[in-house]
Chains A and B, each alone.
Chain A
Amino acid sequence: MDKPVFEPKIVAFLCNWCSYAGADLAGVSRIQYPPNIRVIRVPCSGRINPLYIVKALQQGADGVLVSGCHPGDCHYISGNLFARRKFALLKKFLEQLGVEPERIRFSWVSAAEGVRFAQIIEKVTNDLRTRGPLPYFRKDPAQWELPL
């Protein structure tokens, strides 16, 4: 029997104006993409507190994707450009500490890019299938019953 493929849980923070609409377009266009993402709609990628990403990993996500409007297209003019600085530092910092690059992803997807959205989800999911579950950092109730 084939070994069952690991299906990662991915939390996707999508901005309301572009990437969420892009995901919506992928849906109404019947474009197939892996069902591994759990979407959280946010007003803007600039709304993302880096702690959301870290906390998602701690609480059971195998990976996190944040997606917003392309630079220049932000509904709030520049929210995504402020976000880009934060994301650059967060991603590099966690990678330096030893977190695999595949676990934290950022992308730009516009409301018209249903295909692109599906492709990104495909890529993110496939990479994490190869990586396997997050082996560290996660909250684990199994450790609650430690013998004295």
Chain B
Amino acid sequence: MKLELESGSGSILRREDLNRFLNLLQGSNDLYGPTRVQGRHEIRRITAPEQLDTRYANLAMSPKSLFLPQTETLFTFATGNRKTSPAAARAGSGRNILFGVRPCDAMAITFLDRIFSGEDYRDPRYAARRASLIVITLACTVPDPTCFCTTVDCAPDSEIGADVILFELPAYYLVKPVTRAGRDVLEAAASLLTGATRNDWDEKHRSAQNARQSLRHGFDPNRLTAKLGDFQAPYWEKLHRECLGCGVCTYLCPTCYCFDITDETIKSRGRRIRTWDSCMFPRFTQHASGHNPRPTQKERTRQRILHKFNYALKSHGRKLCVGCGRCIAFCPVGIDIRSVLKEIVES
């Protein structure tokens, strides 16, 4: 059958055919998908479809490490002699399919694209990984209590960042190609797909509506930007008190991308590495002289919130948050970013 990109187009995939479907898409590509690891769902390289498990509200870890590994070799070198000869790290080849991320995580990938594949400087490693990747999103039907995507301009059925999106309906999946690459990859599984009808779309809209209704803002998101203009507002004195400065929120965040560049040597060999870093860490901004423009958790918390909800709007026109809720679910002291934002809006 022929697949079109226009809105309203799409196909039906029987639920029991999901594994066969992914098998066909996989072909000779690498497939990354959700699997259950010690009671949690995480993205892993899938070698047999039985490893897949889609019964989760969201994945424990965001998929960002697939594009932005926690540690990445930029180049290697030899030390000990007077000459240094940096050798660029190799970029990958071949195509990878990432299946099962939620719409929030897919949207987050487009943020990373802006940073690492933007107009100013392109990172060839990131770009190579990204170019080889097909993202197949699984839309949400039952959000977690920690989810708040609709507060930050995302949605349980958002298609942004997806090449293909699957909507889970009681009896089947509604499959929609979002990009040309997504349409191309679906061709391999055309034998399992039948045309969708208006009824199917109605059902999808109802399901998405249900999911959306279970999400509440708790505050008016439109008032947030104006409220965040005040760098010296009294609430900054209070908001950071619970924070332990551990960085869990930033490491798990699908949009946080800040990194460090350092050297690592063993005997005569060395490499320059790019590693995840966090604005919540004291050393993040500490000068070699010892001076630190963000000396306490107050300034660091303010930076994290302002970067996500104010600076990013100014420089990228979007909030740097997709509402996945991981920072809420995993904060060791139960800090809820929604309550923090609510406090700011109501101040």
Query: Which A residues form the contact surface with B (CB < 8 A)?
Result: 59-60, 139-141, 144-145, 147-148
Q: Are A148 and B92 in contact (CB under 8 A)?
A: yes
Q: Are B129 and A148 in contact (CB under 8 A)?
A: yes
Q: Are B267 and A144 in contact (CB under 8 A)?
A: no
Q: Which residue of B lies closest to A138 (CB)?
A: B266
Q: Are A147 and B266 in contact (CB under 8 A)?
A: no
Say yes or no for B76: interface residue by CB 8 A criterion. Answer: yes
CA distance A148 to B133 in the complex (A): 12
Closest CB of chain A to B85's CB: distance in Å?
15
Q: Which residue of B lies closest to A59 (CB)?
A: B266
Q: State the 10 A-B residue pairs at the shortest beta-carbon distance, nearest first.
A: A148-B92, A141-B269, A139-B266, A144-B271, A141-B266, A144-B73, A144-B76, A148-B129, A147-B92, A148-B91
> In the assembled complex, which residues on chain A have CB atoms less than 8 Å from the CB atom of B91?
148
Closest CB of chain A to B299's CB: distance in Å?
31
> In the assembled complex, which residues on chain A have CB atoms less than 8 Å from the CB atom of B89?
145
Query: Which B residues form the contact surface with A (CB < 8 A)?
Result: 73, 76, 89-92, 128-129, 266-267, 269, 271
Contacts A59-B266, A60-B267, A139-B266; A145 near B76 (Cβ below 8 A) = yes
Chain B interface main SS type: mixed
CA distance A139 to B264 in the complex (A): 11
> In the assembled complex, which residues on chain B have CB atoms less than 8 Å from the CB atom of A60?
266-267
Q: Which residue of B lies closest to A140 (CB)?
A: B266
Q: Which residue of B lies closest to A142 (CB)?
A: B269
CA distance A19 to B91 in the complex (A): 52
Closest CB of chain B to A61's CB: distance in Å?
13
Q: Which residue of A lies closest to B268 (CB)?
A: A141
CA distance A129 to B128 in the complex (A): 46
Closest CB of chain B to A8's CB: distance in Å?
17
Q: Which residue of B lies closest to A139 (CB)?
A: B266
> In the assembled complex, which residues on chain A have CB atoms less than 8 Å from the CB atom of B90?
145, 147-148
CA distance A38 to B110 in the complex (A): 53
> In the assembled complex, which residues on chain B have CB atoms less than 8 Å from the CB atom of A139?
266
Closest CB of chain B to A136's CB: distance in Å?
16
